[in-house]
Amino acid sequence: MSGDLDKIPKDSTVHIIDFDGTGASKYIDVHDIDNLGVTINTIAELLVATGKWTDVSGLMWKGLWLDGTYHSGDLVRDGVWTMTPIVPTTTDRPAPQEIGSVQQSVALDSVFSQTNNMSLIKMQHDFTITKAGYFKGVRIKVPIYTIDLTNTIYIKHITSGESTILATNATLLSDVWSTISNEAMLVRVGDVIEVGLVLENIDSSNSITGNWTSNRGGGDPAPQQFIVDDFGTPTTLKISHTDLDSGARGTELDNIPVGSAISLRETGDSTRSVTVRVLTADLTPITATDNTVSVIASGDKEVRDNKECAITSNAGGLSATEYYHLTDHYPTNNPSFATITTKLFYDGVEQADTDDAYGINILFQEASMSADWDLVSYSGGSSDSGSSVSAGVEEAPIDGNPYVRVNGEWWIATSIIAVPPFDASDTVGGSPGDTVFDREIDCGIQIRDDVDLDFEGGTPSAV
């Protein structure tokens, strides 16, 4: 052993908080290193070697960016950007350098036409990028917003394969651009980005919501389950009259009218979903409601077997969904940063290609960017006008200190020290009150000898 790990007493426990700040912890006893047969210099190497944290790349906190040479695995903060090199060495500046002001994919004062349809409506804008920079927000505009208007806003980086649901059932404003906040997405010339808006107007007074466990197959579902013949393109859907809360739901399920939409979405992964339209309903089974269905919308990924899922239905039946469009807006009015094509779907069926613009507007910042760096996190945001829908978590303060996120709050890493103090007779060295945070402390690593520190149960105190 060498480096900072030399100060760690035997049988200490390493506690890790994951990057997303949820407070989930993993544990490893330091005595595991005795049987590794490899040289360990950092906590990250220890975790990888013992198989306890396989996604660690050995990121090393370098603080605020200064002009110089950086290496793969370094982690720096440059303004609102936290970046890491994706090349062995680089002297480039990490943060994108802005060129000009924020641009938009459609003018704010555009005069839209209002249309409606008795279906679930999906509007899709596909951007082929012609200038390097980053997306810093998505704006949505609907003619009429009520609590009955269900909505999903998503963005897909087709080139890289990344996909994010920006908001589900966001509170919007009628006839006003609403800004959906999201992490910055770096885009380069040639990248293809898909941005979508899915709307459906339901009768919320008669809507049904509950949780069941997914199952694929035939026969009747067990209590608290639903069964489909296929998760990708289900044609049959059978829902137990008992949900996961042991509630009796038979009357509600049997009263879902033909023509209603039913959404199935994993509670642990909102990108896994499917929405179907009820074609027929068989009410003869005593313990379940059997429907034949057709798919009208699919999530980015399929629902999986034996997963808790939220089921929602507009049991009040069909209502007209209002939406905005600008006839034949593209390609004549393409913005300077992209060429745009659009698609419109009614209940999953693509409509005639008209190149209309819909109530989707991208906020884009042109920037010069080094290809040597990759984005870890972004703490900026849109300062443009419009109603705001918050997403994500607050970034750590930018003051040069390493931070860990504990129970939703940022703590300066070095303000929490190991207890009890190392004994003077400890053969591995150290002195009373030593702080034993490794250089990877920015990744959320806390070491404390002899006492388990559980970040899930309470806020740790400085000692």
- Domain shared by 298 and 333, yes or no: no
Residues 6+ apart with CB under 8 A from 183: 164, 377, 378, 392
Which CATH number characterizes residue 347's domain? 2.60.120
List strands edge to edge, sheet with 357-358.
113-117, 321-326, 357-358
- Domain shared by 415 and 271, yes or no: no
Instruction: Report if residue 300 sits inside a domain.
Output: yes
3-state secondary structure at position 70: strand
Q: Which domain holds residue 169?
A: 103-202+320-368
- Which stretches in the chain have pLDDT values below 50? 1-57, 382-394, 404-409, 411, 413-463
Instruction: Report if residue 210 sits inside a domain.
Output: yes
Q: How far is residue 85 CA from its own chain's centroid?
A: 23
Domain count, the chain: 3
pLDDT of residue 386: 41
- Domain shared by 160 and 225, yes or no: no
The sign of the CA dihedral 329, 331, 337, 340 is: positive
In angstroms, how far apart are the furthest CA atoms of the chain?
80
> Which residue reads 């520190």 in tokens?
453
Instruction: Report if residue 462 sits inside a domain.
Output: no
Instruction: Report if residue 456 sits inside a domain.
Output: no
CB 199 within 8 A of CB 149: yes
Which of 297, 313, 329 corresponds to the end of one domain?
313
The tens digit of pLDDT for each residue in 126-143 reads: 999 999 999 988 999 999
Distances (CA, A) of 227 to 221, 239, 256, 294, 309: 6, 7, 17, 15, 12
Please give the DSSP secondary-structure letter assigned to residue 304: -
The tens digit of pLDDT for each residue in 310-330 reads: 998 876 666 789 999 999 999
The tens digit of pLDDT for each residue in 158-217 reads: 988 888 888 888 889 899 999 886 668 899 999 999 999 999 887 766 778 899 999 999
